[in-house]
Structure 1
């Protein structure tokens, strides 16, 4: 036996496997790179019909040495991004056109490669992973087992579960008498 139920359900899934390659020129005195940190990730979902985009930014902090490793400094820059999510949707009977979205970041942006070339340019490779899920109210068809017992009517449930002596029992215990069930 099959039944139709209405529920808020997962209607679409998507992901962005983000790889950004960036080239920086900071100074002619740079002697080597010491480290790169990615901080302050901010992101939001932008919807345009069924197209979904992730818009956001993060800060890179690049630590480098100058003057033959005699001095070090930190370079700061904010990277902004706006990328379309590759979505796949389930074919469901949708009840409501309102779409709820949720973004997950299982792989926070991180610098996976950094090198200083002979022209004193720093080449960075930054990778991140974003998952996006969409939810909507939809009509679902579910399979019920054959040994399904019809729901009990409200009158039958009252007879089965309501204690008709509840008030008397409560008053008895408040008067100090022993409670008998």
Structure 2
């Protein structure tokens, strides 16, 4: 608690901080139409996942794509083939806002996949001509922007601990370069 002798003021510091966070688990079903009528599904995998994220109001919009590869048999399980289809998607992650007003609209959006798109199930459709692929993925996003932090400044009296520091006894930059940082490694 400041004494009455101290002149207490407040200062605002402009800094970068996380202003909003969001997370979303997504499940989608895609219909893949192979050139031949499938007899059975032998495998299904997802590759080449790419995405970009941008802030849209109080949310983050993720626009991306991936390739779905379906390995299937046809002609009464006598032949096999792999069909590939590129799928585009858009996901909107609502943000839990830590601060509604930023100093500027110049923000950084950091988005990452918590769970890469993967196949949950691939089945032959009801009419037997297509393949239904159920896919799941999960994203997390943060919006980082400039914000203000208010701090209390004490002008009149210095902190006693701070006054008692013997600056001449502190480690110099030149001395730091000579420190052996491998001293804890096993010696064989």
Query: What TM-score results when the alignment is normalised by the length of structure 1?
Result: 0.72
1:136-169 per-position Cα deviation (integer Å, ceiling 9, x unaligned): 12123579xxxx937858xx97xx3248xxxxxx
1:172 aligned residue: none
Q: Which runs of 5+ in 2 are unaligned?
A: 2-9, 153-157, 170-188
Rg bigger for which structure?
A: 1
1:52-88 per-position Cα deviation (integer Å, ceiling 9, x unaligned): 2101111111100112222111000100112222112
Q: Which runs of 5+ in 1 are unaligned?
A: 164-181
RMSD: 3.1
2:87 is the counterpart of 1:79: yes
- 1:4, CA displacement in angstroms? 5.4
Partners in 2 of 1:35 and 1:134 — Cα distance?
38
Query: What TM-score results when the alignment is normalised by the length of structure 2?
Result: 0.69
1:69 aligned residue: 77
1:137 aligned residue: 146
Count residues with an aligned counterpart.
Answer: 156
Which residue, out of 60, 65, 74, partners 1:52?
A: 60
Partners in 1 of 2:55 and 2:44 — Cα distance?
32
Q: Secondary structure at the match of 2:95?
A: strand
1:35 aligned residue: 43
